Structures are given as C-alpha cells and as structure tokens.
Amino acid sequence: MIPILSTLIFLPLLGAIIIFCLPPRLEKSIRFLSLLVTGVVLAVSVCLVMHFDPAVGGASNSMQFVEYHPWLHNLHIWYFLGVDGLSLPLVFLTALLGFLACLSSYEIKERVKEYFIFYLLLMTGMIGTFLALDLVLFYIFWEIVLIPMYFLIGIWGGPRREYAAVKFFLYTLAGSVLMLLGILTAYFLSTPHTFNMLQLGLSGFDLRWQIILFLAFFLAFAVKVPVFPFHTWLPDAHVEAPTPVSVLLAGVLLKMGGYGLLRVCFPIFKAAAFVLAPVLAMLGVVNIVYGAWVAFAQTDFKKMVAYSSVSHMGFVLLGAASLTVTGFNGALLGMFNHGIITGGMFLLVGVLYTRAHTRELNRFGGLTNSMPFYAFCLTFLSLASLGLPGLSGFVGEFLSLVGAFKPYPWLVVAAGIGLVMTVGYFLSMIGRVLLGALNPKCVPYVDMNTRELVTIVPLMAIVLIVGFYPQSVLNFQQEAMQGLAHLFKL
C-alpha cells in the first residue's frame, strides 16, 4: 500500500519545489497551488485518522503505518516513521491549521513566492517531527522547522522582526544543540547502539545518565513548550510574526515541545521522569500562574494571547508531570485543544489587525455593534480559552487537574488561582475590545468577510464537538496513553 506517512511529509516539499520553478509574477496560481497542497495534506491526514485503528495498543507494537528502511546504514540511522495515539491528533492539528493558515495567507502581498516556499517547507518540518521515530530523523525535522520560521518572521514580520527572528532562532538552536548531545550520548550508551526511540525505551540506562539525558532533552523541549525561564522569545516572535505564521507558531510549534516530552523524555528515561516529575509539576504551575499574571498586564492583543499560551501549556506540563493515564490524556488533549483555540484566536487578532493596523487593546471599544459576527467568534473562543466547562478548553485542563490532584494537591489549588486570573484577563480584554461605548476610531470596520469566516468556523465547530463529547478524540489516544502510563505503574 502507498507509504501514507511519507506522502504526508514530502507532499508539501514537492509543492515547494514546484512553486520554486514558477515565475514570481504568477501570484494567483502560487496561492492556489499551495492551498491545493495543504488541502491534499489535510485530506490525507483525515483518511489517516479514518484508517487508524484505535484498539491497537500496548507498549511494544503500538505504531501503525510503519515505514522502516535503512537510511545511513553504517551509522545505524534508519528512516523510521510511525503514528500512534500520541502523534495522530497532533498530525491532524498540523494539517488543519496548515490549511486554514494558508487560506488566511491571502493578506500577504509582497514576495508571495518565497513566502509560500518557506510556508510549505515549514509544513514538511512540522509533520515530519510528529511522525519521525528515529532520534536523528526527529532532530533533522526539528531543525528543518527552524530555518523557514526564521525567514517567515524575519521578512514578513512587524517592525522589530529581525530582533524577534534572531532571538527565536538562537533560543531554539541553543536548546536543540543540547538535544543533539543528548541523542549522541544516548546512542553510545545504549547496548545495541541505536537511535530508534522504541528500542531506546527498552534499553535501561543507569539513573545518573538518565537524569543527565532527561535534562538535556527537557531543556530543548522546554524552550519550545515555553517553560517559565525560557519563554521570552514567544511574545516577541508572536507580536512580530504575520498572522498565518503566528497561527502555526502557536498552534503547532509549541506542541512539538510537549510532544517531544511525551515521546522522548518520559518513555526512554523512566527513572529520571519519576525523580524529576515534581520539578516538572512545579514548573507547570509556575507557567500557569506567571503566564496569567503577565498576560493580565498586557496592552498588546497578540502579546496577551501569547502569554495565555504560556499559561495553557503550563496545564499540559502539569498533566504530563502527574505520570497518570488521566494526566497524560489531559496533557495531549490540552495540546490539541490549545492548538485549535489559540490558532483561532490569532486568526481573529489578524482579522482585527488587517482593519485597524494596530494591536493596542485600548484603541478598540464597543465592536459588538459594528462587527456582531466577529464579536460572537471572539467571545466564543475567549470563553473556550478561559476554560468554560462545556467547551474544549475545560476538558483538557480538567483532566490535567484530575490527574495531578493525587500526587500534587497543593499545586492544583495554585493552578486554580491561575484559572481565576485567566478568567480575569480574558474578560477584561473582551470588555475593552467588544463592550463599552463604540470607539469613534473603530467606526469604519466592516464585519468578517466569508474567507475569514471559513477559517474560523471549522475551529469553533471542533471546539464545540470536543467540548460536548471529548470521547471522540480521547478514544484515539487512549491506548497510547495507557501504554505510556503503564511504564510508570510499577
């Protein structure tokens, strides 16, 4: 049968090459082609989800659609792809956000050809990261993501784009250098020298090495998740990135960190995970509370949403650190929901930015009259984001809190305080933007046009579906999380 995973990864690359050959003046056809490519990728990922058999589980053969070919044989590097409950939702999320962000890339006017080449390269890197099961292949895709993102932020960004792009690049690179060292040491320490993640999981390292390697990998992922001390690149990158890029940045790149934690750090360095779990939980709660506090004081719309992402990913970290089935479920579902919700939020911020060319919250006011649809969507997504029960945001956070309550009850109480703050700053944002008297400067804003609506409505539909019936997503990931938590049952 056709190698579905490879097509999923290299289709955007093919698209990028085709666009590369087109002359730059054919802007309309370039846009259409990239839309077509991302659409096909979405279709492939949907049929991947359809053919995925949720029942297959257990620690050993949990991977499906496996592709296992020798690549650099003498270095024991294999071209090893596979998907399981852990990576499936994230691959679908990447494909969906990729398609919607491509749709909303119509506002990019200058240098369209380079933009879409980098955009499709970015898609390849992202999907590859979620499917690679060989550490070197994982690292390669991890790096592939960096270069196009640097250019996307650096060229099409806002006023301080160079600073933000360089900061983003150096931050992530510093992290991934540590990861490279970790990969190599893992390779040499493992008895049958291998880069294969699954085999590494079986070969036991002694505790001291496990802790060192866990920390090495964790630092690389902590930069991406943004854990507290390493998060300052996120607001700058978000503020300066153009809307579709910041949708991908928030929707997918943050998940690569979380995914890495659940795929590499926890299963391979089990003993270290046991030892360091409380630290992770502590960092998670710091993320939640600190993200909420700082978001409260923001005046820039995008920066506020960026810090709210820091707060949300704190829940993911807390859920993962609980080392229980519910905790892992909460972490993964939290990542999926956060991708959908924050992706939607950034699209909405983009909608407002194309009209007002500013992101200062105080400049807006009383938009409900002039933009009723926009007001409805923004309120809906803000409520989902602040964790209103009945919408998807709540389910992820609730599962993480339930998972983490047993081992760390006091941290859950602190997270509760973070929740109240989240409600505070989101409602004050809605108050400033939508409610209040109509700001005279915002009179000419016309409501959302159909293209913008088409990008937002599917996200809101998913938020509603997952909110009311989370089992639809959960039974995909149940087996994988069971296998993961099983490692820590002993």
Partner 1 sequence: MHIAHYIPLFPFLAFVINIFVGRRLKIGSAYLAVGTCVLSFLCSLKVWQGFLQGERSYSLGTWLLIQGKPLDFGIIVDPLTIMMLLIVSFIGTFILIYSIGYMHDDPRFSRYFAYISLFMASMLGLVLADNFILLLIFWEGVGLCSYFLIAFWHERPAAAKAGIKAFVTTRIGDTGFLVGMLLLFFTTGTFHFSDFQFLRGPEPVLTLAAILIFAGAIGKSAQFPLHVWLPDAMEGPTPISALIHAATMVAAGVYLVARCFPLFAAHPAALQTVAVIGGISALMAATIAVVNNDIKRVLAYSTISQLGLMMLGLGVGGLSAGTFHLMTHAFFKALLFLCAGSIIHAVGIQDIRQMGGLFSKMKVTSVTFCIGALALAGVPPFAGFWSKDEILLTAWNNHHPVLFAVALLTSLLTSFYMARLIFLVLFGKPRSELHAHESPAVMTIPLVVLSVFAALAGFIGSPLKEATGAYEGSQVMMLASTMVSLTGLGLAYLIYIRQMALPQSLLMSCQGLKQLLLNKYYIDEIYEVVLVKPILRLCQGSFSFDMKIVDGLVNGVANVTQFCSGVLRRTQTGLVQNYLLVQVFGVVLLIMWLLKI
**Pick from 3, 54, 424, 458: which binds partner 1 (CB under 8 A)?**
424
Structure token digits, residue 353: 């930015």
Does 58 sit near partner 1 (CB under 8 A)?
no
Residues forming a β-bridge with 77: 72
Give the per-residue contact string, 316-355, with partner 1 (x = CB under 8 A; - = no): --------xxx--x--------------------------
Name the minimum Å distance from CB 226 to partner 1: 11
- CB of residue 48 vs partner 1: minimum separation in angstroms? 23
Write down the residue that tokens 């099961």 correspond to.
133
Question: Closest Cα partner for 462 from 60, 5, 99?
Answer: 99
Neighbours of 288 (CB within 10 A): 30
Among residue numbers 360 through 379, which ones bind partner 1 (CB under 8 A)?
366, 368, 376
**150 closest CA partner among 138, 139, 159, 161:** 161
Q: What is the DSSP letter of 204?
A: P
How is 264-298 classified by DSSP, letter by letter? IIHHHSHHHHHHHHHHHHHHHHHHHHHHHHHHHT-
Phi-psi region of 27 (alpha: psi -120 to 50; beta: other; left: phi over 0): alpha
CB-based contact 445:304 (threshold 8 Å): no
Neighbours of 234 (CB within 10 A): 29
Cβ closer to partner 1: 264 or 474? 474
Cα 315 from chain centroid?
A: 14
* Cα 312 from Cα 394, distance rounded (Å): 11
Please select the residue that binds partner 1; options are 106, 187, 274, 293, rule is CB under 8 A. 293
Site for partner 1 in 434-453 (CB under 8 A): 434-438
- In angstroms, the first-to-last Cα distance of the chain is 39
Stretch touching partner 1 by CB under 8 A, among 41-49, 122-130, 391-399, 449-457 = 391-399
Rounded least distance, CB 164 to partner 1, Å? 12
Centroid of chain to Cα 177: 21
Binds partner 1 by CB under 8 A, chosen from 161, 224, 231, 312: 231
When the beta carbons of 70 and 229 are compared against partner 1, the nearer one is 229
Examine residue 219 and tell whether it contacts partner 1 (CB under 8 A). Answer: no
Element (H, E) at 83: strand 77-83
Q: Which is nearer to partner 1, 155 or 423 (CB)?
A: 423
Question: Residue 157 or residue 470: which is nearer to partner 1 going by CB?
Answer: 470
Q: Is 24 in the site for partner 1 (CB under 8 A)?
A: no
- When asked if residue 407 is in the footprint of partner 1 (CB under 8 A), the reply is no
Considering the complex, state which of residue 243 and residue 482 has its C-beta at the smaller distance from partner 1: 482
Among 167, 263, 338, 355, binds partner 1 (CB under 8 A): 167
CB of 395 to partner 1, least distance (A): 7
* From candidates 7, 56, 296, 464, binder to partner 1 by CB under 8 A: 296
Alpha helices in 52-160 (DSSP H): 88-103, 112-131, 135-156
Phi, psi of 377 (to 5 degrees): -65, -45
Q: Which residues bind partner 1 (CB under 8 A)?
A: 167, 171, 229, 231-232, 290, 293-294, 296-298, 324-326, 329, 366, 368, 376, 383, 388-390, 394-395, 398-399, 401-402, 405-406, 409, 412-413, 416-417, 419-421, 423-424, 427-428, 431, 434-438, 469-471, 474, 478
